[in-house]
A and B are shown apart, each in its own frame.
Chain A
Amino acid sequence: MTFRHALLALVVGAVLAASPARAVDLAIVSGDTGNGQRILREILDQYEKKTGNKVTVVPVPSSGTDQFGQYRLWLAAGSSDIDVYQTDIIWAPQLAKQLVDLTEATKDVVGAHFPSIIQSQTVDGKLVALPIFTDAPALYYRKDLLDKYGAKVPTTWAELAYTAKLVMDKEREAGNKDMWGFVFQGNAYEGLTCDALEWVKSNGGGQIVEPDGTISINNPQAAAALEMARSWVGTISPPGVLAYQEEESRGVWQTGNAVFMRNWPYAYALGNSEGSPIRGKFEVATLPPGSGEGARPAATLGGWNLAVSRYSKNPDVAIELVKWIASPGMQKYRALKGAYLPTIQALYDDAEIASAQPVIPRWKDVVLNAVPRPSAQAKSRYNEASSEFWTAVHNTLSGDGTAADNLADLEFSLTRLKGTAW
């Protein structure tokens, strides 16, 4: 062996010893909306540079329903193609059996997160997913238009409908024919469950299934809330709202054709991005309360988490990746770039975030008081329960039966679904 060879061997040996493990290829699946995919890629680029591992993002449609079906298929097939799944807050109880228990690996970091969110991802004492951002919706309003017509930010749903109609009519008279008052997510899908839960809860109508498992949805206040929403369709909201998901409503909003919009915080950064027609013209407020007894502002708790597949070939590396994406540094990056709400409490007091995305510090209380969907109660039957709920709501909104009748039917089908116990 010549000297050169010996030196080469030494160098190679040193490099191998220096890197803690061999470079690993991982795959993460995500169906994020807006520019979320790009931000995720940027975060992963930083990770790749730091560790030398390679991470491929497998994109899936942004509709949660589509994602869930695809995840179920991959997991049922025991596929090792995907190591890390980005999961909705409501999926933990349904997918728990096929996800790695993260309790031990993350006990050093979970303390910094909102306890309620960690709780939502804990199934039978096992933490199955680590939160990377949380979601609580906002009422987006066109500040310029409200100022123009001397209207105030609404503090009840009734005020919202009134102001929306006022501004919409005036704007239409002024020649803006495509103007609408209020857009939300009215398509028959999980998003409608979120929107409708807010209407019902904010009107003192309970939260569909109470924490103790009681089915509470069939009550006059809930019916009144749905009747109120029905009265919007075709008056202040376009009839097409019944087919809108997040991106369709943002489409109407961001082209400047809506006075109000209910949407998640991601729309804040996009609305203020370069080239947006409404840049600097809008503000956000909390969703208003209704008028019934026990009425209070309500925001449905959303949010996304990362889970490691039980069938991953490199579960340990995958767990490290999950911890990296969920770390304070990366959550801050996500917040700065896309106004994503962190799940780490301390970041709400971060000065840099406060100046770049002023909406975030204001949202801490909204997150703390957000209403969870009944996924913990309904467990593996949540999707079906939610589908029953959104169908009843969608029927009501499209004028197919009254709210009271549809809720009575819903109570029956939920009771049947529940059986003797959830």
Chain B
Amino acid sequence: MRQRARSAWLFLAPMLIVLAAVAGWPLLRTIYFGFTDASLTDLEAGRWVGFANYFSVLHMPSGRIIYDGLLADPVWWRAVWNTVRFAVISVTCETILGMIVALVLNAEFPGRGVVRAAILIPWAIPTIVSAKMWQWMLNDQFGIINDALLRLGLISTKIAWTASADTAMFAVLIVDIWKTTPFMALLILAALQMLPQEIYEVTRLDGVSPWKVFWKVTLPLIRPALMVAVIFRGLDALRIFDLIYVLTPNNVRTKSMSVFARENLFEFDKFAYGSAASTLLFVILVLLTMLVLRFGRVKLDRSY
């Protein structure tokens, strides 16, 4: 047995070493930089400043007290709120739509293979490309979306989708849902295909309504797979960067945590502050995952 364990470790070692080099080391460096005052001009010159990037209290000569650091930064909290809101709305819509698509694709109909392949296209296009594509489609003057809506008589004036405060987040959500629904559909479809057909035959014999079958049989059976898919998407959505960076990069209403971190890391002379933001983003992701795993009662190591 010990022999087996040793060879298992041996086989795992290359992967573990690579992971440590490409994921572990950068993560540790980022966390370290978050506790320094490093600047991108000279990374090694950074000095240890403790938690100052996260929270510090400045006593002004005038007697005024100023709270500084990420935890007191309204822009950061705005970014957190934007990201969480984005994640909740997008994942909810994608799950519901993905479920509908998966149920349809699970049914037998001619040409199912072609439809299954076609529905994956949005997911297959690189995000930057689809974001640029949508940017043109959403363009207020030349965009096809405004043109179509105008011709259909649904709107009377052209809408500035990515510019207006009310529609910027909406535009980002539309693009993300369009892109990621196929992913959800695929995962749910995989779960649906694993379900034993006998149960459905029994329900048919008993004359149970399809609606009830879905809620009482299908959903509970695919729940574990669904939860895994939701967690995957949720974590992905919380890291959202490319889409927002292309569509509305500097808009405070759509700025996500990742966009905030990038801005501080590379654009402003605040590499350490940006590192602290990245670290906090990491911590938030870890905490949320743990919460979801706990309350969703998902066991990742359980075999289905």
Contacts and interface: CB of A to CB of B under 8 A. Distances in A.
Contacts of A238: 140-141, 158, 160
Contacts of B85: none
B250 A383 contact: no
Interface of A: 65, 68-69, 72-73, 75-76, 94, 97-98, 178, 186-189, 238-244, 248, 251-252, 255, 257, 380-381, 383-384, 387, 390-391, 394-395, 398-400, 416
B164 interface: yes
A313 B165 CA distance: 48
Interface in B210-262: 248-252, 262
Given A242-B163, A380-B41, A395-B252, 12 more contacts: A68-B267, A72-B40, A76-B40, A97-B41, A238-B140, A239-B159, A248-B139, A251-B141, A383-B269, A384-B268, A387-B267, A400-B165
Contacts of B263: 387
A306 to B, nearest CB: 20
Contacts of B40: 72, 75-76
Contacts of A239: 140, 158-160, 163-164
Nearest to A379: B269
B41 to A, nearest CB: 5
Interface in B25-49: 39-43
B133 to A, nearest CB: 16
B233 to A, nearest CB: 28
A387 B249 CA distance: 12
B116 interface: no
Contacts of A187: 163, 250
A383 B268 contact: yes
Contact of A243 (B66, B160, B252, B268): B160
Contacts of A186: 163
A238 B142 CA distance: 12
B250 A243 contact: no
A255 B142 CA distance: 10
Contact of B267 (A65, A76, A240, A390): A65
A390 B141 contact: no
B55 interface: no
Contacts of A390: 250
B269 A94 contact: yes
Interface string B255-281: 000000011001111100000000000
Contacts of A242: 160, 163-164
Contacts of B252: 188, 391, 394-395
A240 B139 contact: yes
Given A187-B250, A188-B250, A238-B158, A383 B267 contact: yes
A116 to B, nearest CB: 25
16 contacts: A69-B267, A76-B41, A97-B41, A239-B160, A240-B141, A240-B160, A240-B161, A380-B41, A384-B270, A387-B263, A387-B267, A391-B252, A394-B251, A394-B252, A395-B252, A398-B163
Given A243-B248, A387-B268, A257 B163 contact: no
Contact of A384 (B141, B164, B269): B269
Contacts of B130: none
Interface string B130-144: 000000000111100
Nearest to A258: B141
B152 to A, nearest CB: 16
Contacts of A257: 141
Given A178-B141, A251-B142, A189 B249 contact: yes
